[in-house]
Structure 1
Amino acid sequence: MAKLSRDDLWSLEEYAQERPAFRARVLAHKKTRQVALGQHARLYFEDALTIRYQIQEMLRIERVFEPAGIAEELEAYNPLIPDGQNWKATFMLEYEDPAERALRLGELIGIEDRVWMQVAGCDRVYAIADEDLDRETADKTSSVHFLRFELAPSMISALNAGAALGAGIDHPAYPAELVLEDAVRESLLADLVAPTLN
Structure 2
Amino acid sequence: MTAITPTDILPLDAYERVRPQTRSAIIAIKRDRRLSVGPYVTVFFECRDTMLYQIHEMLRAEKGGAAQLEGELEAYNSLIPNGHELVATLMIEIDDERQRHRALSVLGGIEELIALEVDGEAIAACPEYDVERTTAEGKTSAVHFLHFPFTPPQIERFRRPGARAVFTVAHPAYAHMAVLPPAMMAALAKDFR
Normalised by the size of structure 1, how large is the TM-score?
Answer: 0.92
Say which SS state the counterpart of residue 65 (structure 2) adopts.
coil
* d(CA) in 2 for partners of 1:104, 1:73: 30
C-alpha RMSD of matched pairs (Å): 1.3
For 1:89-124, what per-residue CA distance to the aligned partner results, in whole angstroms no more than 9, with x for missing partners?
111111111111111111211111111101114x21
Name 2:184's counterpart in structure 1.
184
The Cα of 1:71 is off from its aligned counterpart by: 2.6
* Contact kept in structure 1, 2:36 and 2:178, CA below 8 Å: no
Q: Determine the C-alpha separation between the residues in 1 that align with 2:141 and 2:125.
A: 15
Map of 1:137 onto structure 2: 135
Deviation at residue 178 of structure 1 after TM alignment: 2.4
How many residue pairs match? The answer is: 191
1:138-186 superposed Cα distances (whole Å, 9 cap, x missing partner)? 2211111111111111110112222221111111111112221111111
C-alpha deviation, 1:130, in angstroms: 2.7
Q: How many angstroms apart in 1 are the aligned matches of 2:178 and 2:73?
A: 34
- Unmatched tracts of structure 2, length 5 or more: none
Per the alignment, residue 13 of structure 1 pairs with 13
Instruction: After TM superposition, give the deviation of residue 4 of structure 1 in Å.
Output: 0.8
1:4 aligns with 2:10: no
Whole-Å Cα distance in 1 between the matches of residues 170 and 68 of structure 2? 40
Comparing 14-23 and 168-177, the one that deviates more: 168-177
- Give, as a single letter, the amino acid of the residue that structure 1 aligns with 2:7: D
* Counterpart residue number, 2:116: 117
Cα distance in 2 for residues equivalent to 1:169 and 1:182: 20
Displacement, 1:6? 1.7
Which stretches of structure 1, 4 residues or longer, exceed 2 Å deviation after superposition?
68-72
Report SS of the residue matched to 2:78.
Answer: helix
Give % identity.
37
Letter paired with 2:28: A
SS in 1 for 2:3: coil
The unaligned stretches of length 5 or more in structure 1 are: 194-198
- Quick check: 2:4–2:77 contact (8 Å CA) kept in 1? yes
The equivalences for 1:2-151 within 5 A come to: 2-66=2-66, 68-121=67-120, 123-139=121-137, 140-151=139-150
Structure-1 separation of matches of 2:129 and 2:82: 15
User: How far is 1:131 from its partner?
Assistant: 2.3
Deviation at 1:192, TM superposition (A): 0.9
User: 160-169 vs 180-189, which deviates more?
Assistant: 160-169
